[in-house]
Amino acid sequence: MNIVFRVDASAQIGSGHVMRCLTLAKRYRREGHTVSFVMRALPSNLITFVEEAGFSVYSLPYVKSRQMLTGYLAWLSVTQEQDAQETTAVLRTMGQVDRLIVDHYALDAAWETVCRPYAREIMVIDDLANRQHDADILLDQNFYENAAERYVGLVPHECRLLLGPQHALLRDEFYEIKPRRRTGELYNILIFYGGSDLTDETSKALRALFSMNMHGVEVDVVVGKTNPQMESVRKRCADHKNIRYHCQVENMAELMNAADLALGAGGTTTWERLALGLPSIVTAIADNQIEICENCVHAGLIDYLGCAEAVTEGDLVRAVTAFREGRGAASRTLLDAAPEGGVLFLTNNSNTLPLLAWIGERANVCHYTGVLTPAMLHRLKPQLVVSFNYVHLIKEDILQLLAGRIVNLHISYLPWNRGSSPNIWSFIEDTPKGVTIHVLDQGLDTGAVIAQRVVDFDEREDTLATSYQKLIDVIIGLFKEHWDRILSGNYNTTPQRGKGTYHTKKDLETFLAGRRLTWEMTITEFKERFVRGKSEI
């Protein structure tokens, strides 16, 4: 594939967006894909850093807009319209772009819609859930207790959602290193407040430690290339033999694993620390970090002190002292925070989230979008697993562990239209239309039926979008009707009858042959244009 990233770094933006995109870019490159970046030449832009990592960078000019830009738009330095024009000018020179990945708080659906004709697929990396997106895939790696609700109404119907720290963009070093078991003793502290650290929390943390008796404690201090105070921090560290200064490191996993305690920000490194079970005393250095930190502290994952402007050296001293006395942050991971029992809800689609919220009012529920593992099931011990628009194949060993405690919700009248895009194929092939709840087995949508319902459409009035939503609404209602029996396992099943049909994502691409459908067209219009061949798009 030809993959293009649109991402920026600056003293104001920081380096986190570029660093996580680089993590993903390196994975794509190892898989043999062509990867390049489009970046604006803002002050402290990290363009050279990306090029040194071996990637081509197409640089957009740094020109301050004549318009007054506020909020995150100020990060862009130009309007979305201008950025989209400049980006598409670059994309036109690249041939077929298979995936355009955008990681920028200043860009939303307005920008994405302009760029869409130049890429087969758009992926958004976001943390905020505060604006509309025209995306095929959305990744939000953050831990939110209301993750199920955050993107409802903000993404298209079939946008694939990758939500939660199980999708955290961790560099390979974090997977390769074995997390060490900590004793609770304090011998090594890691200080890292992000690449920019505009409020100089690093110096605040150092002053706090200097005021304490830190005999026998080693300190590693890490700053990024965009940190405006890095020289003064370096000089401050040079005066102390037990403090080591590092700039723009490549061995963060090693430093984190060696540490007994971290003092840091609530940004992307939160998931790196949690991956290694590193206890953390955290300060929010940006508004978008506050809710993440509050959710993490509520789950017992971090020791959160508050916003940077409110955190004092005394707060840091008290938190470090509490940790040394065994009263502070515990060494926990996200898996430790998940409750045992209840319902494990597997989904990658925002339209399924109202059902997740409904279940959450009636049972302990854990929302998961990643690949299931035996270790996770042994830890969670779910009473029931519900799969609803879940993109990962569930392996045989997982099915054996669940022993009939997993059901799937599929928006087709099985055995018709197993697999991908069942609603679209029911119109293409004029097959029965409806929804099915079935036991999940080793086949793809082949399990015994628990409940089914036929769904009728007014093909002149219903659009592809409204028909899809109607199927979602009906299957959610059907699940609610059978909830008590499904939860208890006290239900009857009927084997699927007949051969039915099956389709892959590739099948639809082949059928469309480069033509593009729109979700706003009616079913009748879709059939006339695509099925009966009356006209071309």
The CATH number given to whatever domain includes residue 82 is 3.40.50.11190
**346 and 490 co-located in one domain:** yes
Residue 528: pLDDT band by 50, 70, 90 thresholds?
very high
The set of residues, in sequence order, having a beta carbon less than 8 Å from that of 240 and lying 6+ positions away, is 210, 219
Residue 537: pLDDT band by 50, 70, 90 thresholds?
very low
Average pLDDT over residues 77-82: 95
**162 and 202 co-located in one domain:** no
Average pLDDT over residues 25-52: 95
pLDDT at 529: 92
Domain boundary among 286, 310, 336: 336
How many domains does the chain divide into?
3
Looking at residue 251, its amino acid is: N
Domain boundary among 118, 149, 169: 169
Cα Rg of the chain, angstroms: 25
Structure tokens at 119: 């890429």
Q: Distance between CA atoms of 129 and 137, rounded to whole angstroms?
A: 14
pLDDT at 64: 75
Residue 94: pLDDT band by 50, 70, 90 thresholds?
very high
The CATH number given to whatever domain includes residue 209 is 3.40.50.2000
Active site residue 482: no
pLDDT at 504: 95
Average pLDDT over residues 377-404: 90
**190 and 288 co-located in one domain:** yes
Cβ–Cβ under 8 Å, residues 69 and 37: no
**123 and 219 co-located in one domain:** no
Average pLDDT over residues 39-56: 96
For residue 524, tell me if it sits in a domain.
Answer: no
Q: Distance between CA atoms of 528 and 294, rounded to whole angstroms?
A: 52
Domain boundary among 296, 315, 336: 336
β-partners of residue 138 are: 124, 161
Per the annotation, does 120 bind a ligand?
no
pLDDT per position as a tens digit, 247-288:
999 999 999 999 999 999 998 899 899 888 889 999 999 998
Determine how β-strand 434-439 pairs with β-strand 449-454: antiparallel
**298 and 349 co-located in one domain:** no
pLDDT per position as a tens digit, 328-379:
654 455 555 556 678 999 987 767 878 987 898 898 888 777 778 887 788 7
For residue 422, tell me if it sits in a domain.
Answer: yes
Cβ–Cβ under 8 Å, residues 501 and 418: yes
**353 and 491 co-located in one domain:** yes
**E strand or H helix that includes residue 237:** helix 230-238
**76 and 157 co-located in one domain:** yes
For residue 452, tell me if it sits in a domain.
Answer: yes
**391 and 369 co-located in one domain:** yes
45-54, 172-181, 428-437, 521-530: which has the minimum mean pLDDT? 172-181
The CB-side HSE value for 358 (13 A sphere, CA atoms) comes to: 13
Per the annotation, does 327 bind a ligand?
no
The set of residues, in sequence order, having a beta carbon less than 8 Å from that of 458 and lying 6+ positions away, is none
pLDDT per position as a tens digit, 151-197:
989 999 889 888 888 788 888 888 788 878 777 789 999 999 998 99
**40 and 14 co-located in one domain:** yes
The CATH number given to whatever domain includes residue 492 is 3.40.50.170
For residue 74, tell me if it sits in a domain.
Answer: yes
For residue 272, tell me if it sits in a domain.
Answer: yes
Q: Distance between CA atoms of 536 and 116, rounded to whole angstroms?
A: 20
pLDDT at 350: 67
Q: Which of 150, 154, 119, 123 is nearest to 138 (CA)?
A: 123
Residue 58 vs residues 13, 39, 125, 176, 361: alpha-carbon distances, Å: 19, 6, 20, 32, 49
Residue 468: pLDDT band by 50, 70, 90 thresholds?
very high
How many of the other CB atoms lie within 10 Å of CB of 161?
Answer: 26
For residue 55, tell me if it sits in a domain.
Answer: yes
**258 and 318 co-located in one domain:** yes
Q: Which of 270, 272, 320, 275 is nearest to 296 (CA)?
A: 270
**196 and 310 co-located in one domain:** yes
pLDDT at 336: 54
For residue 293, tell me if it sits in a domain.
Answer: yes
φ, ψ at 456 (rounded to 5°): -100, 150
For residue 523, tell me if it sits in a domain.
Answer: no
**110 and 211 co-located in one domain:** no
Instruction: State which residues form the domain around 259.
Output: 175-336
